[in-house]
Amino acid sequence: MENNQDYYRNAITCVSQKLGFEVIDPWKREQFFYKDSEPCGQSCEKYTFVQRDLDDAERCDIMVVYLPKLSAGACMEMFYAKRKGKTVIVISDLNPLSPWIKVHCDVIIKNFDTLEETLHSFK
């Protein structure tokens, strides 16, 4: 998954910018760390890696989380953002979704077709 993120990240960015949102995409910073055998490898301290993601969650107003499969990092970021009072939109067709995911998001959409309409409703 780490090597094939352009499609969905570009889709989210395009729709968000079209609606006038500023996009914070941690992948632009983190993709280089995934070149080692594990995130960060020897390139950074793991705490710093996680803290930067949490800082991004603090800075956002709306978090869009794409979950084509379960991701510990995405779920933790979503949990943190929701606890901080942020709006969380999940894009996932997983069935069933964990009650933990359902409780820590505001909207679940099945695909990118309704992302623009969903984001627009939070403007």
Peptide bond into 96 cis (omega under 30): yes
Q: How far apart are CA 56 and CA 75, in angstroms?
A: 14
Q: What is the residue-wise DSSP string for the chain? A: -TT--HHHHHHHHHHHHHTTPPP--THHHHGGGGGSSSTTTTTS-HHHHHHHHHHHHHH-SEEEEE-SS--HHHHHHHHHHHHTT-EEEEE---SSPPHHHHHT-SEEESSGGGHHHHHHTT-
Q: Residue 7: its pLDDT value, please?
A: 81
pLDDT of residue 16: 95
pLDDT score of 25 = 86
Pick the CATH number of 6-120 from 3.40.50.450, 3.40.50.620, 3.40.50.2300, 2.102.10.10: 3.40.50.450
Q: Which two tokens stand for residue 3?
A: 């090597």
From first to last of its 123 residues, the chain has per-residue pLDDT tens of: 455 677 888 999 999 999 999 999 876 666 555 555 555 555 556 667 788 889 999 999 999 999 999 999 899 999 999 999 999 999 999 999 999 999 999 999 999 999 999 999 998
User: Would you state the pLDDT for residue 49?
Assistant: 76
